[in-house]
Structure 1
Amino acid sequence: MADRIRRKGTRPGDKLVLVTVGKKTGLERMTPVRWFPAEGDTKLIVASASGGPRNPAWYYNLAAHPDRVRVEFAGQRVEVTPEQLHGADRDNAWRQITTQASGFARYERITDRQIPVIRLTPRTRGERET
């Protein structure tokens, strides 16, 4: 499945392969997630865990190692900087996402947590967070 996603994934709502480094293990982890367009080349992803009570493991991996995140889709490997959206930014992104994929609104109704929305911004070559 990951190989197919790496080759495709050009349309909003398609999946990309999110590559993170495990918070506890330090090992590379690959997770298919749906993406949605944002400004320019940035993409939005949702830590829904299908409406489960906890955020998915990849969410914690992003927080632990934000400088070691990349996405793979449409034959590309792109290093990105993750940023969790809050307030009006999150609300606007959430409306956009649930308009395109109404299932996410259902997930938020069945959980007690606010589902995180993450913006992935491509890093320029050589750029690293400290």
Structure 2
Amino acid sequence: MAEPNGKIEISPRGTRGALTIWGSFWMRLFKPLLDRQVSQYRETGGRSAPKFLDFPLVLLTTVGARSGKEFTHPLGGFEQEDGTWLVVASKSGASTHPAWFINLAKNPENVWLEVGNRKLRVRPSLLTGEEREAALARIAAVSPRYGKYQNKTDREMPIVRLRAS
């Protein structure tokens, strides 16, 4: 939920979840691949982007909570009928939130979404309650991995709505 100051509340870590011991090693190993994927996406306006977990690939840019640097993350995106997009902070069902979500929560005024050749400044908001549950069910129906990720952890995986601002 959004707080009065515009920040997004970060829910507690879980006590169980997918193993992430290789997380930093994995990211260092695959960073060149992710960087190339981001570059190709931008060069082709997203036309060369593969589907990611059965969703179109989108690019989410956030500003680091500690560093103040911009970071771009390729994510699966779920377009809504009203033109907004949903992204899930799943981290493959880990007990902790992904870094991009922490950055988005700490700096919600500095978030951009790239869809195809459009780059939009977006305003994030957190889905809660029945709205979140219904969205997760729709997403899991298209990409069952997300339902499995939620079953791996007792952390409530945040679902973020991104609306052009």
Same fold flag (TM > 0.5): yes
Aligned structure 1 segments of 4 or more residues deviating by more than 4 angstroms: none
Instruction: Look up the SS of the partner of 1:81 in the other structure.
Output: strand
Write the distance in 1 (CA, Å) between the matches of 2:100 and 2:72: 9
- 2-structure distance, mates of 1:86, 1:51: 18
Superposition map of 1:101-116 within 5 A: 101-116=143-158
Distance 2:138 2:41 in 1: 23
The equivalences for 1:44-59 within 5 A come to 44-59=86-101
Q: TM-score, normalised by structure 2?
A: 0.70
Whether the aligned pair in 2 keeps the contact of 1:5 and 1:73 (CA below 8 Å) is no
Gaps of 5+ in 1: 124-130
Q: What is the CA distance between 1:73 and its match in structure 2?
A: 2.4
Q: Deviations over 1:17-50 (max 9, x none)?
A: 1000000011101111100022321000000001
Q: Larger helix proportion, structure 1 or 2?
A: 2
Once the two structures are TM-superposed, the CA of residue 53 in structure 1 deviates from its matched residue by 1.1
2:120 corresponds, among 78, 89, 97, to 78
Q: Give the deviation of 1:74 after TM superposition.
A: 0.7
Q: Which residue of 2 aligns with 1:87?
A: 129
Cα distance in 2, alignment partners of residues 84 and 90 from structure 1:
8
Amino acid paired to 2:120: V
Q: Percent identity?
A: 33
CA distance in 1, matches of 2:67, 2:135: 32
- The alignment's C-alpha RMSD in Å is 1.7
Residue 126 of structure 1 aligns with which residue? none
Matches within 5 A, 1:8-23: 8=46, 13-23=55-65
Select the residue among 36, 40, 44 that pairs with 1:4. Answer: 40
Structure 2 stretches of 5 or more lacking a match? Answer: 1-36
- Which is higher, the Rg of structure 1 or of structure 2? 2
1:128 — aligned with what? none
If the length of structure 1 is used for normalisation, what is the TM-score? 0.88
Aligned twin of 1:127: none
User: What pairs with 1:57-68 in structure 2 (closer than 5 Å)?
Assistant: 57-68=99-110
Is the Cα contact below 8 Å between 1:45 and 1:119 reproduced in 2? yes
Residue 38 of structure 2 aligns to which amino acid in structure 1?
A
Count of equivalent residues: 123
Provide, for residues 84-122 of structure 1, a one-character-per-residue CA deviation record: whole Å limited to 9, x for no partner.
100011011111110111001111111121111000001
